[in-house]
Structure 1
Amino acid sequence: MSDESPLIRSLRAAVAAAPDDVPLRLHLAELLLAAGHSDQAVTEAAVALQHAPGDADARALMMRAMGVPTAPADPVSPAAPTEADLPSQPPSEPGGFDWTAAEREIEDAVPPRFVTSERAMDSLAPATEAPIAADGGGDAGSVSAWDIDAPGSVSLADVGGMHEVKDRLEAAFLAPMRNPELRRLFGKSLRGGLLLYGPPGCGKTFIARAVAGELGAGFLSVSVNDVLDMWIGNSERNMHEVFETARRQAPCVVFLDELDALGAKRSRSHHSEMRNTVNQLLTELDGVDAVNEGVFVLAATNVPWDVDIALRRPGRLDRTLLVLPPDAPAREAILRYHLRDRPIESVDLGRLVKATEDFSGADLAHLCDSAAESALLDSARTGTVRMINMTDLLAAAKDVRPSTEPWFAAARNVAMFANDGGMYDDLLAYLKKKRKL
């Protein structure tokens, strides 16, 4: 660009020659931000996060480039990390960016660099709760803090098969988020809402985590049990605190699991507390009292027809993606994963994939467990240990009934008779393709 300094142009050439050099790319982003090119700085920080997911320096720089305020650090207590405990950083250049000072500045706003990211959690519970008063009054059950998973290494490349789902995610959601200059040109804000729907056990939660990894964003999973409270007003307060936490630690993906429970149709709800919770969710999605820049809202449901229609209004969860049972490449990857540490012999994955049409990922895991159990019991009866073979796997495939069938039976009527505005055109097309109509 004509208004760039020679130093920035030289750094661009150096980054192009060494695209994996994260410190060099972050130095370029810092200079771009200082020169007033915040959108370009966000782009470089996002690319750095793709090479080094969870890098606190890249996240801090992205937050500053996006204008997201950071909470001031508390005074260092005896339990707080000292400078010797902090990871080493490149020394600051004269007039350059002080990496150590930046890490101290954001230590209370950004999750720690090293966390236990392998834990399997369907939902994240509030960190602390206020004590319940004996008379039932006060702020019983109110949420004071939420845990956010730091950006993980999971990306869409880790999702086996499902190429059509990944292509639609890239075109409808990820590509606009990765290109701030194009967003600015076309007036698109750094926010978004996407509703994932489909049969249970088909990987909607895993896909949401993969999206967070692609965006280099934190991940906050919320279920109805985390939000609803027996005391009046606490459910709305909990919902507000979820989004406030995400705004403070943006970029962040807020994953609303089982949206049909969190955002059920208000016309069918007989409890004012549930209706008020849905109203609060609508307010948070609109960003009425705060800016949702850098907050990406993903939601999942098995029954989208039970979700309040206001949640799918433009500007909220206005994009939908049908997550179907895993296709053949995905089934092969899932079966290979669940059999990887088990004693097997002469397993024909191609034949097994053909025998598991319409199986969900959970069904495939159950199939492998059943086959392993059969071989184990046979070994116990005969006193001779034998391997899991195709006979075990095919027998399990015959016994395990696809859990997706009841879902498609219910979805068929919705797609045929309640497809207002073409909301379920993708589901209708799939049912016709599979001759399920």
Structure 2
Amino acid sequence: MSDALINSLVAAVEARPDDLTLRLHLAEMLVAAGRGAEAIGHAAAILAREPGDAAARGLMTRALGGVPPEPEKPQAAPAVSDAEAAPRAGFDWAAMEEQFGDSVPPRFARADGQPDPVRGHDDRAFDVERSVVTLADVGGMADVKKRLEVSFLAPLRNPQLRTLFGKSLRGGMLLYGPPGCGKTFLARAVAGEMGAAFLSLSITDVLHMWIGSSERNLHDLFESARGHAPCVLFLDEIDALGHKRSQLQSSMRTVVNQLLTELDGVDGGNDGVFVLAATNAPWDVDAALRRPGRLDRTVLVLPPDGPARAAILEYHLRDRPVAGIDLAAVAAATEHYSGADLAHLCETAAEYAMRDSIATGEVRMINQADMLAAAREVRPSTDAWFSTARNVAMFANESGEYDDLAAYLKKRRIR
């Protein structure tokens, strides 16, 4: 038996791990070459997907030494007789599964129709956190907080009323708005308010080069969230993961389909999983993701208002040497700035003070002049986003889903 041929098949199986026919052929060749120990893992992988596969069961028996290897055949894998397919009397399959279980790759779905056990905190390292921030730490955003209270928080705090009104502890909300305005921080605050686990998911956690692996990753992430319920599952940049399928290649369309399946839940398995998704481009999100029962509530997250800007500035100056700074005046000079813009403004003001300290040889504090000079240099990054959003609100708002955005643009007189 040529080792080169076997090595080629090993590479092919690694590239196509879900091709059970190819894996079975490789295992047959390994057994014929006297490499039964290697064949055991492949046979176990097949039986994990198809427990009733007679060929795989017979192959496992032969690999374990129950039947001597058959002569090599040039074409297809040899047929397995009923005698070979039957396990040896008294053979301890449970012990073999325990011994060789590590060689079985993560399953996408059990062949017997039963749900997978939750393995997120055992087999894979998902960053399940316990948030220490609450909504009290979020400045402003009164309308957003009100929507979150009605949708998620009030039903959780009032189980009797929840039962009376038939309110389910499941659902999804899409947070959209310009970048840097605190969508991720808000999601963490919701988790902290609920005392729930927090699991953040981005496209890099899902996508994999091998076909089928991305869908399996997505399934495993949702299973981890279900296993840690109550849990806030945060889907960051949902427009990248759930882009319009009409604009995607077939491989990415299956990922979006898998996301839809996970949002629907399996046998009500999403109870206690609160899905919050964030995007800067809601118009690129597949419409199916926003149907009832999925991400069916949409909330606009706007740049922070005056009091919120003052709170953000104070937060970013808390560990810096400052003197004589009027936060209200700086906040008034930074209208339409995002939270990220304000953080950059504080960094720029610190650079001014440090530069002068180096030039004069005397350390001085960050003062009001530094803050106002930084405000003139750092311009709000949200203007570009609102220019794009304006076209959507004016020409693609037939369903009324962007009415909040249109009202805000009218208030700012962006036409």
TM over 0.5: yes
Unaligned runs of 5+ in 1: 1-132
2:142 counterpart residue number: 163
2:15 counterpart residue number: 137
Change (3 A) 1:191 1:274: same
- Distance in 2, Cα, partners of 1:137 & 1:289: 32
Which deviates more from structure 2 when the two are superposed, residues 257-266 or residues 133-142?
A: 133-142
- Distance in 2, Cα, partners of 1:408 & 1:139: 45
1:341 counterpart residue number: 319
1:267 counterpart residue number: 246
Whether 1:409 and 2:393 are equivalent positions in the alignment is no
2:351 counterpart residue number: 373
C-alpha displacement at 1:250, in angstroms? 1.0
Aligned match for 1:256, one of 203, 226, 235: 235
Task: Tell me if structure 2 keeps the 8 A contact 1:332–1:350.
Answer: yes
TM-score (norm 1): 0.67
2:168 counterpart residue number: 189
Divergent runs of 4+, >3 A: 133-136, 138-144
Q: What one-letter code is carried by the residue in structure 2 that aligns with 1:418?
A: A
More helix by percentage: 2
Report the aligned-residue RMSD: 1.8
Aligned match for 1:220, one of 190, 199, 212: 199
C-alpha displacement at 1:186, in angstroms? 1.6
Change (3 A) 1:344 1:180: same
Whether 1:382 and 2:360 are equivalent positions in the alignment is yes
Task: Tell me if structure 2 keeps the 8 A contact 1:146–1:242.
Answer: no
Cα shift readout 1:196-236 (whole Å, capped 9, x = no counterpart): 00000000000001111111110110000000111000011
Cα shift readout 1:162-209 (whole Å, capped 9, x = no counterpart): 223222221233223332222211222111101100000000000001
Alignment coverage as a number of residue pairs: 304
Cα shift readout 1:316-337 (whole Å, capped 9, x = no counterpart): 0001111100111110010001
1:276 counterpart residue number: 254
Whether 1:209 and 2:87 are equivalent positions in the alignment is no
- Distance in 1, Cα, partners of 2:316 & 2:147: 27
Within a 5 Å distance, the mapping from 1:21-60 to structure 2 comes to none
Within a 5 Å distance, the mapping from 1:351-370 to structure 2 comes to 351-370=329-348
- Distance in 2, Cα, partners of 1:291 & 1:149: 18
- Distance in 2, Cα, partners of 1:348 & 1:264: 44
C-alpha displacement at 1:247, in angstroms? 1.2
Secondary structure of residue in 2 paired with 1:420: coil
- Distance in 1, Cα, partners of 2:142 & 2:268: 36
1:177 counterpart residue number: 156
C-alpha displacement at 1:146, in angstroms? 4.1
Unaligned runs of 5+ in 2: 1-9, 19-104, 107-119
- Distance in 2, Cα, partners of 1:224 & 1:150: 19
Task: Tell me if structure 2 keeps the 8 A contact 1:243–1:284.
Answer: yes
Change (3 A) 1:139 1:156: farther
Aligned-pair identity (%): 68
1:242 counterpart residue number: 221
C-alpha displacement at 1:422, in angstroms? 0.7
Secondary structure of residue in 1 paired with 2:278: strand
